[in-house]
Amino acid sequence: MRKRNLVLTGLMVSLVIFGAYLVIQREMRPLVVLSESMKPSLQMGDLIIVERISPEEVEIEDVLVFRDPGGRENVLITHRVINRTEEGFHTKGDACEKPDPFMVKPEDVVGKPVLRIPYIGYLVGFGYLRGLSRLFVFAGLVIAPSGLLIFAEVKNILADSIKLRKRRKKAKEGKRKRRRKKAKI
């Protein structure tokens, strides 16, 4: 059991390090879905891992992540490609009735989602929360687990301490018995 836990922990650490490497190399980046425009393919609160691709790789029906053509800074949009032209791409959200009123230029292409992790975006997107909701999320995600870990560790330390005391007591009793036997001889 202990070996299995060690192997699983090593595997998880390796995956985290590899994922961090890919993010640092800017080959992949995690994003949180903030709207429902891509329902049912992507839900609000999903975490998506976006792989960088060149505009030449984009095909019709691909889900595409691109910079906002309206010029809003740090805003990325995730919609499906419905048409491709020389000038760029026409896109549409799966939940939207009409296509987007703009054309996505090739230089605005960021990438395409390769992995979707449902609901994790709510945890990662913690920075978007304000007020009491932020406090409750912090309490639920940080304070409560920390408290449980501390409680479990204190319990383990006390249990080990009691076992150690019992061993020492047995060892002392064993020494006394041996001394008494030697004294009788």
Give the model confidence (pLDDT) of 126-184 as tens digits.
Answer: 555 555 555 666 666 677 788 888 888 899 899 999 999 998 888 888 778 777 777 77
41 vs 8 pLDDT, higher one:
41
Give the pLDDT of residue 64.
95
Q: What is the mean pLDDT of the chain?
A: 83
Contact 53, 104 (CB under 8 A): no
d(CA 15, CA 119): 20
- DSSP of 3-66, one letter per residue? HHHHHHHHHHHHHHHHHHHHHHTTSEEEEE--SSTTTTTS-TT-EEEEEE--GGG--TT-EEEE
Give the model confidence (pLDDT) of 103-120 as tens digits.
Answer: 999 999 999 999 898 887
Residue 71 banded pLDDT, cuts 50, 70, 90: confident
